[in-house]
A and B are shown apart, each in its own frame.
Chain A
C-alpha cells in the first residue's frame, strides 16, 4: 500500500515539471512565436478544398516574462485569431508557439492543461464572458476544479484572495451573486479574477475595456497594470483603440491583414510612426478636443483586403498613399530597422537600396 503511494508520488513528480524548473531556464522569452500562420480551410460541397482564409500570416515575436505588449489593428486584421491560437483554441497551420521553452503544438492532454492554467484570458464583453447561471463563487472555482484543485477549502481561500486582488471587496458580498446582479466594471473584475485564479504567467486580454463605460475603463486598466507589476505577469493586450494602449504596454505591434507591419515601443509609435498604415491608424484616433469636430481626417481609402485572396507583395499596397510602383505589389517587404533600435517595420520605404522617387 505504502509502496503504491510512493510510486504514485514519484510518477507525479516525473510527469509534472515543477514550476521552479521552468523559471530557472533563464531570462529568455516566456512566449516565443515563430513564423506563425493560422489558416482556415475553406471547403466546397462539404469536402473539396477551396482555398484558405489566411487570418494570421508569418507572424513572429518574443515576449519576455513580465513584459507587456499591445497588438493593434482594425477589425478583421487577424488579432483575434492570433490571440485564440496563443490560447490554444485554434491549431496553427504552420509555425511555432514556444511557451517557457516548450513547443505547445507537441503538448499532450496533460501538458496542455498545464499550459492553459498558466495562461489567463480576459475577454471583451464581461457579461457574455460569465455564465449567467453560475454564481461568482462557482465561476471563480471552475478553473480550479478543472485543473485538479480538489480541496474545497483551498479553493475558497484562493477565491477570496483573488477577489481581494481584483478589488471586489468585501468578497462575501459578491460570492453568491449572479453576473447580472453586478455592474459592468464588477463583471470585468470577476473576469480578471477568473483569469488570475490559476496564478498564470501570461495574460491575454482581448479589448478588456472597450465594452465598459469610460469612467470604469481607467480603473480596470490600472488594475491590470498593478496586477502585472505585482505578479510579474506577461501581458498581451489586444485592441483597436490606440488611446488605451499606453496605460501599461511596453511595446506595440501593429497588425494589418494577418501580418505585423510595425513593432515598436509605445512612445516610438506615438511620436515616430514609420509604416503608412500606422500613421493612418494614429490619425484615426480621436482626442477629446472640440477642434477635432471640424477636422476631416485623412484615412486610407478602401477597406482591409480579403484574407482569402490577399494582395500580392505588401498587403497594404492597394490603400497605401506612398506605394512604390513595381515593387510593393510584387515583393513582400522584410522588416527594416530604420530609426531607433528595436523599432521594426515591414515597409519598402525604409529600404536604403530602393529608389524612392
Chain B
C-alpha cells in the first residue's frame, strides 16, 4: 500500500478551542515566517470553550490584588496547586485578558467604558470579567475570528488526530490524523506539537460537557508515555439542570441567586460556609461564603442534604432549587439572559417567576497531561495547554472563572515555547514519521474494518453506557475503596470487551461511527487513569472525597499523582511528585465569616 500523504509545518496544534487558537495566534504573531497547523476534529467554533458561561478571572480593579487571586486559587485548590505556576498565571492573566479585549471580545462594561467584573465562587473579591453569560462563546469566536487575520495559520478542520509521531531522538514531530470527509489518514508534521484537546467529562453520564469532550489528546499523550496527572480530581458543578446536565452558570449566584432545599432553607449555612445575609442586604452575595463557596464544597453539601432527606425528588432525580426571582426580570435579562433562555427551553421554567431545579453535574477535569510550568511534557517537543493539561494551577478543585483565563495564559505560553523548540530543533527524518503514520492507518483499518470488529458482538453505545454507570457509581462525588475497586474491575472488563466492538459502518466518508469508537477508546484510557488514581489516593482533598479516608493527609499526599500507561492495558503505574510550595504553606481551607487571606 502507498504511503500516507505528509504535510509540513513548523508547529502543529491539535485542538482548535480557546487554548489551541490562542497558541496559534502567539506563534503566528511572534514568528511570521512560521507555518502553524491547527488540527481539530471539529470546526474551531464548535469547540467546547463555546459553552462556558460565567466569565474569566483576572485582577484589573484597583481594590483587588494579585496576592488575593493567588491565595484564592491556592486555597481553592486545597493546596494541591503548584504555587510557582499559580503566580505566573495570576501575574500574566490581566495582560492576556486585555489582549483579548483588543482583539474584539465584547466584554460587558461599566458606564465609564472600563470592563465590568462580577463575583465568583471562592474568590475574595469580584474579579471575573464577563460577556453577559456567554463568555466562552464570545472568547472562542473572538479568538477564531482573529486567527483569520493570519495567513500562516493553516487549519485542518474536521481532522481527527489519533496518534503522536515521534522521531528517532524521541522528539514529537506531528500526528497522524483522519480527514473525516474522506477517511484519509494524513501525517501532519512539524518541529513541535501542542495538544489542546480539552477535557474528558464524557467519561461520565451526567455532564455539562459536549459530545466532543472525550479525552482524545489525554489518551494520545498517555499512550506515548506522558503521565496523566491528578486524574482523580473531577469537578462537579453544583448547578446543572436535571435530565440534560445543561449548565446554569455560577454567575447566577455571583449576581445574587440563592440555593434552597425542599423547605426553602438556605442549607449551605449548615455546612461551615458562613451565615446567609438577606437577599436585599447590600452586602449580599458575600464573597467566599454561602452560595459563593467553592464548587467542590457546594456539590458535597448537596449530597449531604440529599442523604438527610431534604432535597426535592423529581423524575430526573433529586434536586435543590436555585432561586433567582429576587433579582428581577431586568437584571436577569441584562446579566444572565442565557440562564433564562436555557431554563425556559430545557426545564420549562422561567427563572423570573420560578426557582430552577438543579443538581451537581460533572463539569471539568482538574487533572490532565503532565506538563511543567512551561507547558512542556517529558517528551521533547510536546506541549499541552487548556483543560487537557495539568500544570497544575487547579489542584484538587478549580475555581470558577480560572479556566477560561488559563486557556489564554497557558495557550499563549505553550505557543511561545513550542515555537522556540521548533527553532532550536529544525531537522527531522520525515520517512520514519510517515512510516509511523502508515502503521497507524493500517492499525485503524485492521482494528475497526476487519474481524473481529466486523463480526464482533459489542456495541459502542452499550460499552459507553456501562462505563458511564460505573464511573458515576464508583468514582463520583464520594468514593471509597469498595466503590473504586468495582469501577476499576469494570473498566478492565470493558477494555476486554472493547476488542469485540462491531461497527455498522465500514465506509470511509465521514465515518462518525469510527470516530465514536476511537473516542470510546480514549475514554476507557482516561477513565482507567481516573479510577486507579482515585483508588491510590487514600485521603480526602478538594473534589476527591474518600468516605473511608475523610481527612486531608499532607504528610503523604501533598503530591501530584502521575498515572503511567501500561503497554498491555493493565492498571496504570501510579507515582507521586511533591507539590511546589513557595510562599503559601498548607493551611485550613475556610469559607464564610473567617475566610479570606490567611497565612501562617
Partners in one complex: no
